């Protein structure tokens, strides 16, 4: 694995993790209790490109624009990667979103000596991953002389449902 210089790095980023939770309980009668719970969990992460400070990154606007226009180079003699993040068969950079929703409902019936509780729960959501690189090509140099060109010819978009019985 080459060791990257600053401009050839990526930003392993976890910009958003949010969990919202709501519970409701009601004693409908002196024997019947109703319950409901809902939860929303939203996650976003990825090896994202280096960004300008106005977009949550560490580069100024000119540096961020320049990195997007450079082609990655790996120097074989010392393993240094420079100029930009290299494309690879899985894309190199990625931005992944995973919102999930869960709910549970239940009813309890209580008598003097017996209790009966019934209910159900479910979880659903999806995974949306975008694997990408700014340039489909990268170079390998040996002592400053080009020795190979790697060309990755695809961009990968992934979408998967999270729910029993669903199809992606």
Positions in the chain whose pLDDT score sits under 70: 1-11, 86-91, 154-155, 164-168
Task: Note the pLDDT of residue 64.
Answer: 81
Task: Note the pLDDT of residue 42.
Answer: 92
Task: Note the pLDDT of residue 162.
Answer: 77
Would you kindly state where each structural domain of the chain is located, as residue ranges?
A: 3-162
Write the CB contacts of 164 (distance below 8 Å, at least 6 apart in sequence): none
Task: Note the pLDDT of residue 67.
Answer: 79
Task: Note the pLDDT of residue 89.
Answer: 57
What 8-state DSSP symbol labels residue 79?
T
Q: What is the pTM of this model?
A: 0.64
Task: Note the pLDDT of residue 114.
Answer: 92
Cα gap 62→66, rounded to integer Å: 6
């Amino acid at each position: 694995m080459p060791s990257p210089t600053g401009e050839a790095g990526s930003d392993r980023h976890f910009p958003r993790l949010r969990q919202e939770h709501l519970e409701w309980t009601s004693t409908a009668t002196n024997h019947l209790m109703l319950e409901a719970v809902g939860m929303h969990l939203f996650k976003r992460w990825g090896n994202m490109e280096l960004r300008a400070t106005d977009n949550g990154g560490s580069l100024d606007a000119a540096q961020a624009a320049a990195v997007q226009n450079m082609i990655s180079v790996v120097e074989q003699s010392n393993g240094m990667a420079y100029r930009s993040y290299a494309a690879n068969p899985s894309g190199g950079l990625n931005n992944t979103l995973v919102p999930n929703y869960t709910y549970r409902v239940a009813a309890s019936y209580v008598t003097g000596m017996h209790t009966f509780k019934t209910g159900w729960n479910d979880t659903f959501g999806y995974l949306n991953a975008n694997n990408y690189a700014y340039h489909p090509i990268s170079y390998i140099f040996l002592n400053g002389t080009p020795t190979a060109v790697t060309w990755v010819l695809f961009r990968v978009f992934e979408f998967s449902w999270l729910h029993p019985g669903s199809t992606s």
